[in-house]
Structure 1
Amino acid sequence: MTMLNVRRQSTLKAPAVCAGIELHGGNHTRLVMRPAPIGTGLVFIRTDIKDRDNRIKVIPESVCNVRNCTTIANAAGVTVSTIEHLLAALAAAGIDNLYLELDGKELPALDGSAEPFLKLIEQVGVLRQEAARRYVEVLKPIEVKRGDAYARILPASKLSLSVSIDFEDEAIGQQKVEIVPNVRAFRERIAAARTFARLHEVAALQAAGLSKGGSFDNAIIVDGDKVLNPEGLRFADEFVRHKALDLLGDLYLGGPILGRVETHASGHGLNHDLLMTLFAHADAWRFVSLMEKSGKTSPETLSSAPDLLQSMSA
């Protein structure tokens, strides 16, 4: 199964639950993923918030912070942080509609990768729903840059990622990965890749009130040419694989995409800039569904909407 083959919307067959420590906040949180009807989209519900609107739609306009993780918020100022690993797993599994009940500000880090989320999804099963899935088809190239870093998206018949990084740290160095992130490739190649930090960054992160829950249990720590985790790496190029995981999750804020995405030295900020720049150009994309005609999968235009917020909130 590839992402291109998923023509219908999907949700989970049953609720799925996980809990653990927040990577940045350090608190214990619990996530319950509940099936949702056709057209719901992905919606976080902060169950610990009772005095104001506690629902946050997973759409690009909800993003309020991209420092070290992706954070979304609603108009009432209610936030949810570190959503990218879960979104990557949902993207690979082709999940469109879910209520995501969370009892704190940040998702549990679990092991710092997307693998535990994917396993949960696969354990409860995916339910295909009786409605066409809406894709974002890229119609012309879009690129954003910050110094030597860049992110670009090009027209293509399916989603593919080409991700490269270049770190001074010898333990990381230059790495590159290319992947068509269908559920099998995601499971085998990038789901288990963990988040990482350089040792000299950890103190600064903690001084800024971040990484309070970070440990060898949920992150790779690098010091120059050394990986400090006793068990070492899961992949020789685990760092760039995790960057691809983050990219997939960040892109999924815009829904499933048909396009080739190429990034170098990118992060959550540049990933989000790419998405917002794409949607700001009404002639660079359109909504399509994939309908089967004469045994072939071909795009059927649903709409071409210049006002993304109106279109995605409809």
Structure 2
Amino acid sequence: MRHTIGKQTTIARRTELSGIGVHSGKPATITLVPAGNDHGIVFVRTDLEREVEIPARFDHVVATELCTVIGAAGASIATIEHLMAALRALSVDNVLVEIDGPEMPIVDGCSADFVAAIDDAGVVSLDASRKAVRVLRTVRVENGDAFAELLPYEGARYDVTIDFPTGLIGRQSYVLDLDADTFRDEIARARTFGFMKDVEKLWKMGFAMGSSLENSVAIGDDRVLNPEGLRWNDEFVRHKTLDAVGDLALAGMPFIGHFRSYKGGHKMNWLVLKALFADASNYEIVGETVRRAHSAGAVGVSVPALSPQKA
């Protein structure tokens, strides 16, 4: 069977976006720069004495507590998942992301501003074939009753369920077959969220220093505190789906498969990618006209999610 996935892309011109980090509270500016064939998504810290490039791949993840952090050579960049989701959803394969600090700007807590910046810059095709990772066997990670798994599937499906012990959220599920228009309309504007009862604890840990009603959905004891309310009744699970798109983009290429999670998050998303790539029989890399090496089998693997929160 032959699988056509098209040519690699980049953005047509440089574009810039500024804001504050939701956890650090510090200002940050990013510049998206066009890049050539097989460059991938690479971040570079421009504020350091020596610029450090950090590829946006699962093997460069250094922390997954409340956000996804990548690092290399002693430098790191936090909260990359919302930009990564926008790049993956809009099928942008190659970009250099220049950033002048250790955390991405949160803007309004979702991917909408990143989508707008990419749309404004434009997306252009390159001459090299895009590559994708096709899931051949079910791979699953577990932690108590929580799990994340990747299954064989001809497409890119995200199937996310959350379950919080509060009537304001409760159990919510969302299924997304990823394409640019659906992401723009149904996912990109879903904001990050948090519980007011946790704020003081997070501040003591150095998190949420830049969080506000301008960039997060704040959940009180019995109501959503944002004056405008929710953008959707199920905005919470839509945001978790957005996070999953961004975290799985750390495969370094699109994936062909079905992602499912229950009570998941950044850590579980990262661990299931690690489990996928840990065994070459779990997947194959396909290009524009690459013939499948073997068919998807029924055998699966299950890996306990026992690694610590910080990678």
TM over 0.5: yes
The offset of 1:302, in angstroms, is 9.1
Alignment-derived partner of residue 140 in structure 1: 137
1-side partners of 2:160 and 2:230: how far apart? 19
Question: Counterpart in 2 of 1:175?
Answer: 172
SS at structure 1 position matched to 2:9: strand
What SS does the aligned partner of 1:163 have?
strand
The match for 1:229 among 226, 229, 250 is 226
SS in 2 for 1:226: coil
Corresponding residue of 2:189: 192
1:162 aligned to 152, 159, 169, which one? 159
Which residue number corresponds to residue 306 of structure 1?
none
1:96-119 deviations in whole A, cap 9, x for unaligned?
111100000000000000011001
Q: Please give the secondary structure, in 1, of the residue aligned with 2:288.
A: strand
Summarize deviations over 1:263-301 as a string: whole Å, max 9, x none.
01101001100000010011000100133xxxxxxx535
- Are 2:281 and 1:287 equivalent residues in the alignment? no
Q: Specify the alignment match of 2:66 in structure 1.
A: 68
Q: Deviations over 1:51-97 (max 9, x none)?
A: 3x5110111110000000000001x1100000000000000011111
Q: Which residue in the other structure is 1:14 paired with? A: 13
Calculate the TM-score normalised by the size of structure 2. Answer: 0.91
Q: Which residue of 1 aligns with 2:41?
A: 42
Q: Provide the secondary structure at the position in 1 that maps to 2:287.
A: strand
Give the structure 2 partner of residue 30 of structure 1: 29
Runs of 4 or more, structure 1, over 2 Å off, are: 299-303
Tell me the distance in 2 between the aligned counterparts of 1:238 and 1:175.
9
CA distance in 1, matches of 2:273, 2:197: 31
Identity level (%): 37
Alpha-carbon distance in structure 1 between the residues aligned to 2:257 and 2:233: 28
What 5-or-longer segments of structure 2 have no aligned partner? 295-311
| Aligned counterpart, 1:308 | none
Residue identity opposite 1:22 in structure 2: G
Letter in 1 for 2:53: R
Q: Output one character per residue of 1:110-143: Cα deviation in whole Å (capped at 9) or x when no partner.
A: 0000011001111111011111101000001001
Aligned length: 291
CA distance in 2, matches of 1:19, 1:300: 43
Whole-angstrom distance in 2 between the partners of 1:161 and 1:121: 22
Residues 1:207 and 2:204 aligned together: yes
Alpha carbon RMSD of aligned pairs, Å?
1.4
CA–CA distance in 2 between the matches of 1:231 and 1:182?
A: 28
Residue number in structure 2 paired with 1:309: none
Equivalent in the alignment of 1:264: 262
Compared CA separation, residues 302 and 214, structure 1 to 2 (3 A):
farther
1:276 and 1:157 mapped to 2: Cα distance?
21
Q: Secondary structure at the match of 1:248?
A: helix
CA contact (8 A) 2:136 2:281 kept: yes
- What is the match of residue 105 of structure 1? 102
Q: 1:5 to 1:86 in 2, by over 3 A?
A: farther
Q: Retained in 1: the 8 A contact 2:5–2:287?
A: no
Instruction: Please give the per-residue CA displacement for 1:13-46, whole angstroms capped at 9, x wherever unaligned.
Output: 0011100011000000000000001011111110
Letter in 2 for 1:139: L
Letter in 2 for 1:73: G
Q: Deviations over 1:181-234 (max 9, x none)?
A: 110110011000000001111111111001100000000011233101111000
